[in-house]
């Protein structure tokens, strides 16, 4: 077992070192004209965050800046304030600093997922599998997020950390992480709805308080109260409102080509996949109705959840949250590391036929992820989205099976007591 751990650790270190060089290269070019190195195409999102943070330092509008490729800053105001330390560093140093922060967050997210899903699982080899196999299934999206300098790794860590700390009873830390996720990607509000559904009102109240604190008070220290409200309004008009509209309404946005186009293969949410497959002018209410239809089985199975099936219900909510998001680029799906870990942990305790069935679905999910990178046609037809639906089905199938088994055990016990 020890050689296996050492081998996995060394492989991980070597891969992170390789990805560090790729990330630095992609964020080029560096140096004076005629003596430049790095990618001439400047294929990174990190410079957008860094330039927005520089705008904060100089009292400028972060939503007015554009990086070398003409990309705009599209996140709520707090993230531009958080990124200020990186704007104080030279570009190559700040690129590597952000990369190593995200690499650490990746390791932490994978570790927390393994601990959450593997709680109560006996056997070191099984716990190791619960940690590393789900990470392998979504490793392509962690890699994409890291090498493109994306904020998706931070988003994944914040959501998993919120779930982890809430499970540990550390509500303040969990609420701070969930608030951070919401203020980065608003679709994380779905997780807040889950806690309300489960009656965890302390978590809900603490998270709402943290959202107000982080969304209003923190940025106001940098922008002033009126300035912050102005930028919140600007983000709502330029990003949030168009994202909630149809393809035709999105096409009028300046961010259409950069982010909002449903025709971009990289967008793997329900609305975008539907647009690419059937075309037409389907409306927001239609997408919303389909989203509710996909979520209905979660509610039906979740009504009678047990202690054993609850992690699977939570995993299903996380999957649904991404599938129905107004915008869900492929690298967001690194978040599937937690639902996949929950599914694998439950399968390890299942009977042989169920294990084989579950392993086949998890393998197919991983292949669809890889296929989306190897051949763009996979993404065009929504391979990552369909893989998410498969994972959602697997989670609910296992949860329902465990609930049925629990009910059968209780009935047998009741009959036994009655006969006595």
Do the beta carbons of residue 131 and residue 114 sit within 8 Å? yes
- Which residue is associated with the tokens 């439950």? 346
Could you say which residues of the chain have pLDDT below 70? 1, 280-283, 406-420
All residues at 6 or more sequence positions from 243 whose CB lies less than 8 Å from its CB, including other chains = 250, 259, 260, 326, 327
Per-residue model confidence (pLDDT) at position 222: 94
Q: State residue 410's pLDDT score.
A: 54
Q: How far is CA 142 from CA 15, 135, 209, in A?
A: 12, 9, 30
**According to the model, what pLDDT value does residue 28 have?**
87
- Do residues 243 and 187 lie in contact, with contact meaning Cβ atoms separated by under 8 Å? no
* Cα dihedral sign, 400-404-407-413: negative
For position 328, what pLDDT does the model report?
Answer: 96
pLDDT of residue 398: 96
Residue 157 contacts residue 151 (beta carbons within 8 Å): no
């Amino acid at each position: 077992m020890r050689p296996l751990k050492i081998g996995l650790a060394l492989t991980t270190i070597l891969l992170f070192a390789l990805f560090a060089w790729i990330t630095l290269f992609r964020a080029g070019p560096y140096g004076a004209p005629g003596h430049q190195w790095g990618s001439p195409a400047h294929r990174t999102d990190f410079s957008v965050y860094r330039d927005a943070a520089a705008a904060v330092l100089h009292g400028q509008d972060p939503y007015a800046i554009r990086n070398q490729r003409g990309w705009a800053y599209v996140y709520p105001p707090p993230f531009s304030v958080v990124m200020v330390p990186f704007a104080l560093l030279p570009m190559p140093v700040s690129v590597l600093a952000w990369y190593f922060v995200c690499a650490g967050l990746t390791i932490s997210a994978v570790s927390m997922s393994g601990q959450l899903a593997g709680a109560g699982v006996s056997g070191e080899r099984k716990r190791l599998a619960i940690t590393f196999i789900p990470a392998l299934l979504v490793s392509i999206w962690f890699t994409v997020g890291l090498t493109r300098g994306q904020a998706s790794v931070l988003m994944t860590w914040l959501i998993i950390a919120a779930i982890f700390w809430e499970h540990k009873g550390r509500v303040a830390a969990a609420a701070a992480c969930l608030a951070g996720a919401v203020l980065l990607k608003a679709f994380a509000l779905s997780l807040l709805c889950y806690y309300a559904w489960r009656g965890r009102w302390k978590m809900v109240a603490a998270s709402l308080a943290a959202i107000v604190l982080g969304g209003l008070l923190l940025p106001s220290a940098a922008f002033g109260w009126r300035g912050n409200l102005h930028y919140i309004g600007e983000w709502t008009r330029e990003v949030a409102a168009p994202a909630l509209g149809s393809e035709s309404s999105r096409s009028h946005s300046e961010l259409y080509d950069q982010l909002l186009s449903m025709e971009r293969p990289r967008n793997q949410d329900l609305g975008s996949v539907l647009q690419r497959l059937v075309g037409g002018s389907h409306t927001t209410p239609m997408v919303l109705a389909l989203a509710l239809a996909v979520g209905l089985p979660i509610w039906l199975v979740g009504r009678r959840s047990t202690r054993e099936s609850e992690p699977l219900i939570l995993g299903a909510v996380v999957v649904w949250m991404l599938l129905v998001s107004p915008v869900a680029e492929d690298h967001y799906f690194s978040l599937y590391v937690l639902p996949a870990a929950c599914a694998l942990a439950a399968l390890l305790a299942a009977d042989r036929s169920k294990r084989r069935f579950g392993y086949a679905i998890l393998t197919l999910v991983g292949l669809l992820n890889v296929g989306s990178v190897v051949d763009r046609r996979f993404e065009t037809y929504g391979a990552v989205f369909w893989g998410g639906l498969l994972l959602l089905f697997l989670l609910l199938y296992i949860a329902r099976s465990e609930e049925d088994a629990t009910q059968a055990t209780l009935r047998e016990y009741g009959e036994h007591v009655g006969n006595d």
